[in-house]
Structure 1
């Protein structure tokens, strides 16, 4: 029997990510999805639950990797000393910039960049806390964790998929594609342990019970799950939704509810006594 210490968890992550039903999304994908993602991210309950786990302190400087349109950066800015918000999507960053202007927020530094960039060239620097919230869209997990850790002075937080997360396998399979959500949090946790990191684990939980104005609204809402959907696949999806949507309180919805979980893993940097630096 193979010992746990002999398992290459990083390689298993790579293999699982390669099996995903969706490819590694580039900035163009997120530019297109930015408005709808920003709207949903702020209304799902995830932010409140993540912030309750984070327990931000006023003196913190925070690095937010994959900040999107400010899902965490905006609420953090009203509490902590400063936030550096990094994202590869120019549309996401434009939305964040507009929100900062509207809310008169001045302590968020916005940086265009991704995991693969040289963060020294981007002037990222070191922060008290480094966060990667639902942004572990990487091929080499070990390298990403090491890079994230190198930018944290005191503590690291990351959140990642549990099971299928926000994906609905029924939608994907309805168009004729096979579904595989790729790697989830257990591979991340096991790799962290192999790296000598003893991570705390908490979970956020929300119920996906979205409602829609009509068939077109439903179609637009789930379209993101099907990468580069063909016209034939769209017809199949339209047929599936038309058959399954039910009327409730003047709106349309699917006849089932899904629970969406995210795992939040966090740890203090080596040499830090928990609690001493945030007293």
Structure 2
């Protein structure tokens, strides 16, 4: 039922601390979420596109902290948000160096609290997600950071891989995720120096694109959905099978797993029909859908049998 088999969202999440938006990525198997495609050139390596959205006005959906407006995100390093538009996605990300020219709609306000993910909406409820801000918090009480610390190794024994083929980044442990997130900046593919391993040390590169943070958050949400203690109920349908039904989304009709796969392709600059900006928004839409107890989840995602876009 995916409208696209291979392939902005200013929805604000109540999770405070998130800088992210846009989407698409490969289905997470629990150990790796890289959307590799064998687009081989002569030497066997995948060919890659520019991975950079030529539309400088594209919405930089980097999950802004909408709950407090001018909060300072201590997890990002870099310069101040230089975007000329309203940064509605990365909040007052004091270090993300968001250079997007349009409103950064990627950072939500994931405060890191244990969100219920429940709503009175229609299909697709009973799931849980966190934004990149939530996943980037340090462990405190029962927040997303604690869940990440406790379950990362089991879900990603070889590290969390985002990107495609050899054009990928590997987050080796939970500390690497905490240090990397949230991210801000114009949606784009990884740079060569960013296609490396991250271990949570000061040697890790600082990645100034919201796309990176949104894909990581989506991969975590899809992988952790396999755990009974992460879901809000015993719904047997995987998060990856839910379908985007928001008519304003570039990913309308696509499943969550398809978005993740396409996002990984675009993040690694492998061929994808969707731009980094589009995929950032799609990823943010998914990441924010079940992180707020007030979320109207039926307006964004639906169970496969309820897919109204077919």
Same fold (TM over 0.5): no
Quick check: which one's strand share is greater?
1
Rg larger for: 1
